[in-house]
């Protein structure tokens, strides 16, 4: 930024009067301070630097994949319980090593808790196998402070107990479905859980290839864009387990990559691919 100072009445030597000489230094100082301050105010904040970790893997139906993240944490891709509906697919889990129990650190920091969610890659909540693959990539958060993790587990279980005691509904039920979820105790516990998101690390899972038996049902309205995206993805068609196609289809295997943004200075196992990058996605 340039500043133009107006000409002054000059004396014989071109220095101006005493009054003018006294004003010039202060005006010049003010101009310089303004010139230095404006860029500082206009410049965006520099992004925080994180340790970026890259993982790759493949998991089969009914099997688990896992990788150590260092500092006592482990990332797992675990099979979804089939249940009476015959679900197939996997959940992403971040847990302590050895495991610290339910809920895990990724579930706590990636709400909603009892609804369709990016951490769950499966034929649940009305998704067909091809829709689950088309929802790609998947973004999530996970806690990395052991004390915050334990505190979050206690809050989650207290919220679950409160909801089930008043209405029989688990965490995640909306106020329209369950008026009791608007109670002061539930609201307080929910706010406390939401505060953990600001202390969580971020991650992304990208599906590279998959083997599946497509579902023959129509896609749910909310999944239509994922169904279109799945048609452009690399997939391998697998015969259905019962020899006949099913409404939701089946997920047989998945090949994927995972990117994690951990705090700078994180003690990462030597076997992992690591780089320094701005935090976030």
If DSSP states are collapsed to H, E and C, what string results for 206-261? EEEEEEEECCCCCCCHHHHHHHHHHCCCCEEECCCCCCCCCCCCEEEEEEEEEEEE
Residue 59 maps to a domain = yes
Query: Across residues 36-54, what is the average pLDDT?
Result: 67
Band the pLDDT of 167: cuts 50, 70, 90: low
pLDDT(158) > 60: yes
Same domain, 24 and 62: no
Rounded Cα–Cα distance for residues 107 and 92 (Å): 8
Total tally of structural domains belonging to the chain: 2
Peptide bond into 112 cis (omega under 30): yes
Residue 156 maps to a domain = no
Residue 129 maps to a domain = yes
Same domain, 236 and 274: yes
Rounded Cα–Cα distance for residues 149 and 109 (Å): 9
Query: Across residues 72-92, what is the average pLDDT?
Result: 96
Query: Across residues 248-276, what is the average pLDDT?
Result: 96
Same domain, 246 and 231: yes
Q: What is the pLDDT of residue 45?
A: 60
Residue 154 maps to a domain = no
Q: Please, what sign has the CA dihedral across residues 189, 193, 198, 199?
A: positive
Band the pLDDT of 22: cuts 50, 70, 90: very low
Q: What is the pLDDT of residue 199?
A: 83
Query: Across residues 137-166, what is the average pLDDT?
Result: 93
Residue 193 maps to a domain = no
Residue 185 maps to a domain = no
Q: What is the pLDDT of residue 280?
A: 76
Same domain, 137 and 211: yes
Same domain, 22 and 63: no
Biggest CA pair distance of the chain? 106
Report the range of poorest mean pLDDT among 31-35, 161-165, 217-221: 31-35
Report the range of poorest mean pLDDT among 76-80, 87-91, 167-171, 223-227: 167-171
Task: Count CA atoms closer than 13 A to 173's CA, side-chain side.
Answer: 21
pLDDT tens by residue, 175-230: 444 545 568 888 899 899 988 887 899 999 999 999 999 999 999 999 999 999 99
Same domain, 244 and 129: yes
Structural domain including 219 reads 49-104+112-142+201-278
Pairing, β 49-60 against β 250-263 = antiparallel
Band the pLDDT of 281: cuts 50, 70, 90: low
pLDDT(23) > 50: no
Band the pLDDT of 46: cuts 50, 70, 90: low
Band the pLDDT of 114: cuts 50, 70, 90: confident
Same domain, 66 and 21: no
Give this prediction's pTM.
0.78
pLDDT(250) > 70: yes
pLDDT(171) > 80: no
pLDDT(33) > 70: no
Q: Which residues contact 232 (CB under 8 A, 6 or more apart)?
A: none
Rounded Cα–Cα distance for residues 252 and 211 (Å): 5
Task: Count CA atoms closer than 13 A to 63's CA, side-chain side.
Answer: 11
Q: What is the pLDDT of residue 168?
A: 59
Q: Say how many Å lie between the first and final Cα of the chain, rounded.
A: 34
221: DSSP letter: G
């Amino acid at each position: 930024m340039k500043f133009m100072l107006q000409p002054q009445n000059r004396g014989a030597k071109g220095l101006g009067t005493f009054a003018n000489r006294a004003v010039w230094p202060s005006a010049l100082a003010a101009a310089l301070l303004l010139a230095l301050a404006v860029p500082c105010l206009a410049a965006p904040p520099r992004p925080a630097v994180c340790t970026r970790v890259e993982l790759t893997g493949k998991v089969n139906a009914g099997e688990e994949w896992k990788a150590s993240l260092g500092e006592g944490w482990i990332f797992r891709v675990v099979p979804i319980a089939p249940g009476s509906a015959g679900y197939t697919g996997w959940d992403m889990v971040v847990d302590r090593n050895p495991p610290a129990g339910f809920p895990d650190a990724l579930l706590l920091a990636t709400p909603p808790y009892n609804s369709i969610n990016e951490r769950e890659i499966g034929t649940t909540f009305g998704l067909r196998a091809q829709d689950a693959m088309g929802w790609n990539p998947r973004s999530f958060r996970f806690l990395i402070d052991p004390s915050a993790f334990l505190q979050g587990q206690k809050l989650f279980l207290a919220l679950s107990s409160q909801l089930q005691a008043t209405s029989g509904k688990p965490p995640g039920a909306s106020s329209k479905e369950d008026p009791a979820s608007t109670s002061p105790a539930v609201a307080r516990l929910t706010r406390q859980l939401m505060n953990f998101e600001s202390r969580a690390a971020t991650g992304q899972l990208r599906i590279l290839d998959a083997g599946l038996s497509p579902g023959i049902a129509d896609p749910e309205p909310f999944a239509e864009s994922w169904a279109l995206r799945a048609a452009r993805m690399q997939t391998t068609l697998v015969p259905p387990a019962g020899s006949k196609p099913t409404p939701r289809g089946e997920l047989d295997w998945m090949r994927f990559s995972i990117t994690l943004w951990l705090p700078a200075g994180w003690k990462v196992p030597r076997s992992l691919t690591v780089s320094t990058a701005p935090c976030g996605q």
